[in-house]
């Protein structure tokens, strides 16, 4: 239980780190803003991953 709580508490900081790295790479001209339109098309993968995580936790508890 404590591990799950720590993992959930790490999601927001990791999100900020990833966003910061992406913004830094864009500032350094190592990636282009056009990548956002390509990544936006992949949002269903996030929904599938979230559902799979919920299912995994459900069956792990029982």
Secondary structure letter of residue 32 according to DSSP: -
| Mean pLDDT score across all residues of the chain | 80
Phi, psi of 21 (to 5 degrees): -65, -45
For residue 59, CA distances in Å to 5, 29, 41, 46 come to: 18, 44, 30, 20
Question: What is the pTM (predicted TM-score) of this model?
Answer: 0.51
Quick one: pLDDT at residue 8? Answer: 67
59, two tokens: 């069956």
- pLDDT at residue 2 is higher than 60: no
Which of 40, 23, 41 lies closest to 32 in space, CA to CA?
23
pLDDT category at 52 given cuts 50, 70, 90 is confident
């Amino acid at each position: 239980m404590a591990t799950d709580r720590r993992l959930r508490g790490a999601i927001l900081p990791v999100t900020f780190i990833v966003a910061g790295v992406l913004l830094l790479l864009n500032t350094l001209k190592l990636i282009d803003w056009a990548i956002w339109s390509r990544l936006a098309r992949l949002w269903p993968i996030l929904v599938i991953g979230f559902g799979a995580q919920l299912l995994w936790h459900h069956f792990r508890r029982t």
